[in-house]
Structure formats: structure tokens, C-alpha cells
């Protein structure tokens, strides 16, 4: 009897051991199944900080594998898409680079007016090397009755009173007034103040933003403060420079035979 009890107890212990082994096997199987490989995607990641509105050095970015579920929308996958581009805001090490974080200045420079409209206040990204943007006030008359639009090219006509030392007629009044073309083929990149919708702006009293070189910016400032300016709208695609005869009272009287017969 005693031997039989020992055998029964031994069998019970073996059964418990087998159950424990089976339980651990199933747990390990479940653990291995849970640890199945995670699907990843190669993305461009910042390797070092880059300041806002700065060019991204090639060695500042690299490729890393990220879980697909954690990859942000618009993530870039090739460092060639990022190196040399300009940052919109600061970029930090380990950050995945997405399309909205960078701009391609070369592409923007090709169409400054369209790019400026797209970027809004981030006008500086659209300005080509060696150029500047400057504002110029216009009226309904000087803006071709409000017909000029972003992307148009214009010429600038001015009327000035000649100083006495340059005047052809001493004390000649109107005879010493001259009108002529000055700057030509200027690109207009905006026709209302930044942040104002064009549809809601009035035709008169607007401000144009022009894309010019630094010498032209100086000339525009002088004209703005010392002359009577008017813009004229060029035909689409016309970028030529024209020689135009300045107009004075004497020119009008002679050209149109306005002098009375003596």
C-alpha cells in the first residue's frame, strides 16, 4: 500500500512537471510570435542641429530605419532631397525630415511671384542671389488702374522738375519739366500689402513689391521721394530694353507742330 501511494505521488509530481513544461513552451512560443520583425522604412534623419532659414550641410543628415507606423507623413527617403535645401524652422538631431520642413531656393527663384504667393510672409526664400525686394506705393492711376498682377513686368515713367542749374530755360516753369522712361522690365511679385488678400484690397493706395537689384532699389527710393512715378504694364513675355525719347514742353510743341505761326 505504501509503495502504491509513493507511485501515485510520483505520478502526480511528473504530471505537474509536464504541465509546467507545456505552459512554458506555450509562453515562449507566444513570446516569439510577439517578437516578430517590425516593418520599417528608410527615412532621412537629422544627425546634427540646423538653424532656421539655413542651408542643410550634406553631413547633417543620414538614413535610418524607422517603424512604418512611426514615420510621419511627407518623410523624405533620400539625402539628396535634403542636402543644400533651406530650412523653414530649426531642425534637431534625430528628427525625421519631412517635405514641409525644407524649401528648394533654386526652384522658388525660377518663379518668385508664384513662390511668394505660396509661402506668404516667407518672402526671403524667393529672392534670387544678388537681388532684393522693395516696396513701392501706387495709386489707381500709377498702377494702370489696378490691372498689374503678381508676375507681371513693368516699366517706370517719371516726371521731374529740372533744377535751375540744369534747366534749359531760366525761370521757364513748365518748359523745365521732363518726363521719361527710367527703370524697365521690373518684376512685380506682390500687389497688396503682405497678409492682405488681393480680392479685398482697393485698387487705389496699394503697395507693390518689386524684385530688383540693389542699384535699382536705390533709384526707386529716390524716385519715390523726388519724382512723380507711373508704372506701365509690359506685354507678357516682353523682356527687351527700349530707348525712349524724354518728353519736354519743347519736344511736344515741336513734334506735334503746336507752335503758333508767327
Please, are residues 86 and 55 in contact by the beta-carbon 8 Å criterion? yes
| pLDDT exceeds cutoff 90 at 242 | yes
Transcribe 76-117 into DSSP letters. ---GGGTTTPEESS-B-TTPBPBGGGEE-HHHHHHSHHHHHH
Integer Cα distance of 84 and 55 in angstroms: 5
CA-to-CA distance for 126 and 117, rounded, in angstroms?
10
Residue 50 lies in a domain: yes
Same domain, 117 and 233: yes
φ/ψ of residue 199, rounded to 5: -65, -30
Is 151 a domain residue? yes
Instruction: Give yes or no: residues 83 and 116 share one domain.
Output: no
- Tell which wins on pLDDT, 158 or 116: 158
Both 199 and 152 in one domain: the answer is: yes
The reported pLDDT for the residue numbered 24 is: 59
The verdict on 87 and 126 lying in the same domain is: no
Closest of 75, 73, 72 to residue 61, by C-alpha: 75
Here the CATH number for the domain that contains residue 69 is: 3.90.1210.10
pTM above 0.75? no
| List of residues 6+ apart from 205 with CB closer than 8 A | 137, 139
237 is a domain residue: yes
Residues 146 and 200 occupy one common structural domain? yes
* Any domain includes 21: no
Which residue has better confidence, 205 or 258?
258
Greater model confidence, 120 or 255 = 255
Is residue 70 situated within a structural domain?
Answer: yes
Q: Does residue 94 sit in the same domain as residue 131?
A: no
Flag whether 29 is in a domain.
no
**Other Cβ atoms within 10 Å of 38 Cβ, number:** 11
**12: pLDDT strictly greater than 50:** no
Domain total of the chain: 2
Q: What is the mean pLDDT of residues 191-216?
A: 78
DSSP string for residues in 191-241: SS-TTS-GGGS-STT-EEEEEEEHHHHHHHHHHHHHSEEEEEEPPTT----
Q: What is the pLDDT of residue 172?
A: 55
Domain boundary among 51, 72, 103: 103
Q: Domain of residue 227: give its range.
A: 112-255
- Grid coordinates of 252: 511736344
The percentage of residues in the chain with a pLDDT greater than 90, rounded to a whole number, is 53
Assigned domain for 24 exists: no
Let me know if residue 25 belongs to a domain.
Answer: no
148 with 250, same domain? yes
Whether residue 141 is found in the same domain as residue 249: yes
Residues 98 and 170 in one domain: no
Whether residue 76 is found in the same domain as residue 165:
no
Do both 137 and 246 map to the same domain? Answer: yes
Same domain flag for 59 and 128: no
Amino acid at each position: 500500500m505504501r509503495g502504491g501511494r509513493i507511485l501515485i505521488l510520483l505520478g502526480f509530481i511528473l504530471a505537474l512537471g509536464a504541465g509546467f513544461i507545456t505552459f512554458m513552451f506555450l509562453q515562449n512560443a507566444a513570446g516569439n510570435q510577439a517578437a516578430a520583425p517590425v516593418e520599417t522604412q528608410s527615412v532621412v534623419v537629422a544627425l546634427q542641429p540646423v538653424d532656421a532659414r539655413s542651408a542643410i550641410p550634406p553631413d547633417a543628415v543620414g538614413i535610418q530605419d524607422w517603424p512604418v507606423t512611426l514615420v510621419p507623413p511627407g518623410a523624405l527617403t533620400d539625402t539628396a532631397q535634403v542636402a543644400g535645401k533651406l530650412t523653414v524652422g530649426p531642425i534637431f538631431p534625430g528628427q525625421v525630415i519631412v517635405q514641409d520642413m525644407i524649401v528648394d531656393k533654386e526652384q522658388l527663384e525660377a518663379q518668385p511671384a508664384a513662390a511668394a504667393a505660396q509661402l506668404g510672409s516667407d518672402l526671403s526664400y524667393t529672392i534670387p542671389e544678388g537681388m532684393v525686394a522693395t516696396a513701392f506705393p501706387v495709386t489707381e492711376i500709377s498702377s494702370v488702374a489696378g490691372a498689374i498682377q503678381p508676375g507681371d513686368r513693368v516699366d517706370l515713367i517719371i516726371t521731374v522738375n529740372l533744377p535751375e542749374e540744369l534747366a534749359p530755360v531760366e525761370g521757364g516753369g513748365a518748359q523745365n519739366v521732363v518726363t521719361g522712361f527710367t527703370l524697365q522690365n521690373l518684376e512685380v511679385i506682390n500687389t497688396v500689402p503682405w497678409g492682405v488678400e488681393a480680392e479685398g484690397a482697393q485698387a487705389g493706395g496699394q503697395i507693390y513689391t518689386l524684385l530688383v537689384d540693389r542699384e535699382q532699389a536705390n533709384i526707386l527710393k529716390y524716385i519715390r521721394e523726388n519724382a512723380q512715378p507711373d508704372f506701365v504694364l509690359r506685354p507678357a513675355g516682353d523682356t527687351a530694353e527700349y530707348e525712349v525719347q524724354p518728353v519736354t514742353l519743347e519736344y511736344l510743341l515741336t513734334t506735334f507742330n503746336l507752335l503758333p505761326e508767327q
